[in-house]
Structure 1
Amino acid sequence: MAAFREHITVSGMLGVGYGVAAMTLLGYSPAEAAVGGVLAGIGGMLPDLDIPTGRPGQEIFALTGSVAPLVLVGHILKWSKLPANTEVMILLMLGMYVTIRYGAAWLIDKISVHRGMFHSIPAMLIAAEAIYLIYPNPNVTVKLLMACGVALGFFSHLLLDEVYSVGWSGPLPSLKKSFGTAIKLAGPTLGPTVVTYGLLAALTFVIGEQTGIIGPPIEPGSTPVAGQQALPQRETAAPPIVQEAAVSEDKLTDAPLFR
């Protein structure tokens, strides 16, 4: 399989090309294109998270532990209803860093195996959808730029591993035992495969709800579903002729019957 140097070199070159293309061909701002290119470069290291004690895993967990709190702290404050003061934000960010940098690395080291479901197409889609959901920009096209960047870098890692699993010791290529273990749809055991597809389905459902793909839009005046509030009704004034008729009726009602 390819080493860390090969992976980061290929994904880094792809990231540069991706950023330049996003800015020159697709009209993204230089900052947006640069972030998309950086995420493509980082995506090239993500499959090796299944070896958290190795260099790629250490780099990714350190980087994720530093960046993720900056992205997630606003969401956590909103969900938890905690006061948005300096002390609370510092404590939340430190807690997230320690949890990601050490807790997540320890957990993955215990439950994962190298070339398991981390090296798979579903894992690539999970990484892309996670970036789409957490990236703090309301513009859908910008979120798609970041998600596709991660997917591009991720896939470059899988493809490079498959290329390195083909040997050329003789006139004809020979396949190593690792061939087919990177670009795959399912793992050798059922449990990790089911968990991976379950997580992918959950993220896809959330994105579908956010974008309006899943579920019909709520019309004004319709009965809301559980957890949603009805849209306020706009009050409209009666036409002038109706107002005049009402005033005339009130005068007739108030007038005495006998003079």
Structure 2
Amino acid sequence: MANFNTHFNTAAACTGLGCAALLSAGHIDVNTALWLWCLGTIGGLLPDIDSDNSTSLDIVFNIFAAVILLMVMRYITGEHFREIRFIELLLIPLAVYGIMKWLIRPLFEKLTVHRGSCHSLLFITLCGLLTTQLTWIFNDDHAAKSAIIALLSGGFIFFGGLIHLILDEICSVDLSNVRVKRSFGTALKIADFNNKSATVLMLFAIIALGYMLPDTTTTINLLVDWSAFNF
């Protein structure tokens, strides 16, 4: 399998190119490009959220917690909320970080095994749809723009995750000795069918989140028009 630096750098490079292309075509602004680049890079680390390596797990969860915290703070300080007090600005970030560190992380460590359910197309699809839904809820821009940003956010999470799975599968082939390693086929898989309960739960969650997607028409129409792209 590829190491942490390879996953991070490759995901950052590939999703950065994607953001640059969208920016050059006028589909997004600079702030959105930076946001999508950040999400795409995080997506490139997500399948290792079940890693047995404590360092990788620390980095992934710290980045994930930071993104969740930024989304929550942006939401609670939006125009539709009252002015927030100083003590709340201190307690809310601590509460979010505490939940991520002492509730969500231990739960993940207990329920997952490395290269299991999290190392699958089903999982990164779920992450993409969940990101779309959260971005859609927390974004206070007008409906059409919010839908575009939300769908692109989910798409970049999926894109980054897909890069991760492909890299690990490529590393399962030893070109020097012309042999296939035992890990071949464990990275780029549809789902972990050995864990049927997790697979079924993720499938139901994907169906539910897919049903709740914001309108995709505007985003599709935007992405098929590359007439303004300036190479």
TM-score tier by shorter-chain length is: 0.7 to 0.9
Counterpart-to-counterpart distance in 2, 1:94 and 1:161:
35
Of 201, 205, 223, the match for 1:195: 201
User: Is the radius of gyration larger for structure 1 or structure 2?
Assistant: 1
TM-score (norm 1): 0.71
- Could you tell me which runs of 5 or more consecutive residues in structure 1 were left unpaired when the two chains were aligned: 214-259
Q: What is the deviation of 1:200?
A: 1.7
Contact 2:48 2:118 in 1 (8 A): yes
Aligned to 2:186: 181
Name the Cα RMSD after superposition: 2.6
**1:166 correspondence with 2:173:** yes
Kindly provide the CA deviation profile for residues 131-152 of structure 1, in whole angstroms up to 9, marking residues without a partner as x.
Answer: 1111233421122222211111
Counterpart-to-counterpart distance in 1, 2:162 and 2:216:
28
Q: Give the SS at the match of 2:2.
A: coil
Where relative contact order (Cα < 8 A, 6+ residues apart) is larger, the structure is 2
Alignment of 1:44-123 (within 5 A): 44-51=44-51, 53-72=53-72, 85-123=85-123
Which AA in structure 1 matches 2:150?
K
Counterpart-to-counterpart distance in 1, 2:69 and 2:49:
19
Contact 1:117 1:196 in 2 (8 A): no
Alignment of 1:235-246 (within 5 A): none
- Could you tell me which runs of 5 or more consecutive residues in structure 2 were left unpaired when the two chains were aligned: 218-231
Counterpart-to-counterpart distance in 1, 2:52 and 2:174:
27
Identity over aligned residues, as a percent? 26
Aligned residues: 207
TM-score (norm 2): 0.79
Counterpart-to-counterpart distance in 2, 1:161 and 1:181:
9
Contact 1:7 1:160 in 2 (8 A): yes
Evaluate the alpha carbon distance shift between residue 86 and residue 20 of structure 1 in structure 2; reply closer, same or farther with a 3 A threshold. same
Contact 2:43 2:161 in 1 (8 A): yes
